[in-house]
Each structure stands twice: as C-alpha cells, then as structure tokens.
Amino acid sequence: MNYRIVKNLFKCKDVKIHKRGCIFCQIVKKKIPSKNVLEDERYLAFLDIFPISNGHTIIVPKKHYQNLEDIPEQELVEIIKIVKKVAVLIHKKLKIDGYNVLQNNFESAGQEVNHFHIHIIPRNKNDQRFKLKIPRNQATEQELENTLKLLLL
C-alpha cells in the first residue's frame, strides 16, 4: 500500500469515514499488510511501522472501539492479557532492559488513530528514545482538595 494513503488514514477524524477507512481496521481485515506478532480471533498484535524502538508493537481489538471509554470492560480485561503475553515475549526474545506500555485517549493525549490500541515500547537503559516528563512540583493540599471535590461531585 502507498505510504501517502497510510498517512492519510492516520489523520482521519470523521467517525463514519474512519470506521470504513481506519488503518487498524484495514490491517485487521488484511487490506493493509502487517508484521504480526500474535493473532487470535479477537485481537491482533503487530509491529509498528513508525517504531520508537526495535520491536515496538501495537495491540488492537479486531472490533473497532474509539478509545478506553468505548471498549467494554471484559474486552479490556482480555486485551490486557494479550499485552502481558506480548510484553513477556518481547522482553525475553529481544533481550531488552524493560518496556513501556502506553495507551493514549483523544488527540490532546496523543491518540493518532481513533481505534483503541495499546503500545509496547521496548527500552534499554539510557536509550533516550522516549521520555515521560514527570513534574517535580508537589501539589498543594488545597489543589488536591479542589480536584477531589470536582471528581466526587
């Protein structure tokens, strides 16, 4: 498949068009080739074509769900089992030091494909490939209380 077509499928935001043209749905249907690490009747794990590191794998349910809020709880439980199986395989076979398990929801959080998916990103000590910036400024007691009030309303 042409790279430009694949790139355009990543950008699609229209839900009706996206379900027909979703790049992950197309991969599941074998309309776009992929390098599959694991597949069963409900889930597919394949190598990312834009890997952060060697072995970067994406796990998707074969059924289209937009994000974490959309996927049924039982499906979520089952896909986590697949994630664990693939993560252990990657860790053992690629002889890496560790890995990140990442799942983004909505564009502002980095979700580029509106099909629920989980990344496994292999890591080696000091690889500098992927950094999560954790703030070092502690929240005040009042900030925590205000947030808690909003959440518990």
Per the annotation, the verdict on 56 as an active-site residue is: no
Tokens of 90: 């990657």
* 83 and 59 Cβ atoms separated by less than 8 Å: yes
| Catalytic residue chosen out of the listed positions 56, 64, 117, 119 | 117
How far apart (Å, rounded) are the C-alpha atoms in residues 8 and 33?
A: 16
CA dihedral 63, 64, 67, 69 (to 10 degrees): -70
Rounded to 5°, the CA angle 59-61-66 comes to: 100
- Amino acid at position 15, single letter: V
Name which of 112, 107, 84, 100 is nearest 52 in CA terms.
100
Q: Which residues are catalytic?
A: 117
